[in-house]
Amino acid sequence: MELSDAGREQARRLGKRLESVKFDAAYCSDLQRTRDTAAAICAGHGLTATPTPELREINHGHWEGLAHADVEARYAQEYARWSADPLTFAPPGGETGLGVLARAMPAMRRIVEGHLGGQILVVAHTATNRLLLCGLLGIDPRRYRDRLEQGFACLNILEYATATEARGVTINDTSHLDGM
C-alpha cells in the first residue's frame, strides 16, 4: 500500500520538523509506505534508510485489507478473542503481538548497538511501534493497543544508556501536523 496524499504531506511535515537533526543512520520497515516516509525525512540529510523487514507492521492474516467494521462483523468470535488478548492470539495466517516483539526487538537492539551514542531514525508502523515501546520502556505489552497511542507520522524520541536501557523522552508527538 502506498501513502495517500495526506500521508505524503504528513511525512513532508515530519521531515521539515527533523531537518536540523543530524542523523547518523536511518532504518525503516521494508514496506513501501514506510520507505516513502523515511525517504521524505532523509531527503535533506543525505541518507538512505536501510529497509529492515523485522520492522514490518503486524500481519493480521485473513483480516488484511478489510475495514475494521468488516472484521468485527465477519469474524466476530476471532475479533473478540484478539481484542481480549492481542499479545497471544492472532487471526488465521496472522501473527501475535509476541511474534512482532520476537522479530522487532532483536532488530532494534542490533540497530542501537551499531550506533550507540548516535542519532538514529527508525520508521516503522503503529502496532510495531506500540509493541517496541512497551518492550523498551517496561510497559506490560498485553494491552499495547490501549496503553500507547501512535498517530500517523508521530515522533517518538528515546534515549539509550545502553543497547537495552531506553528512556522515553517524547512519545506520539504530532504537533508538526497541527492544522491538517
Q: How far, in Å, CA of 124 to CA of 127, rounded?
A: 9
Find the mean pLDDT for residues 18-46: 96
Q: How far, in Å, CA of 135 to CA of 130, rounded?
A: 9
Question: Where are the domain boundaries for CATH 3.40.50.1240 in the chain?
Answer: 5-58+101-177
Find the mean pLDDT for residues 69-74: 97
pLDDT of residue 177 exceeding 90: yes
pLDDT band of residue 37 (cuts 50, 70, 90) is very high
Homologous superfamily of the 5-58+101-177 domain (CATH): Phosphoglycerate mutase-like (3.40.50.1240)
Q: For residue range 126-144, what is the model confidence (pLDDT) as tens digits?
A: 999 999 999 999 999 998 9
Tell me the pTM.
0.94
Please provide the average confidence, as pLDDT, over all residues in the chain.
Answer: 96
User: E strands, 64-164, where?
Assistant: 120-123, 155-162
Residue pair 10/105 in contact by the 8 Å Cβ criterion = no
Q: How far, in Å, CA of 33 to CA of 160, rounded?
A: 27
Find the mean pLDDT for residues 60-82: 97
Report pLDDT for 154.
98
Report pLDDT for 44.
87
pLDDT band of residue 175 (cuts 50, 70, 90) is very high
Residues 163, 123, 82, 89, CA torsion sign: negative
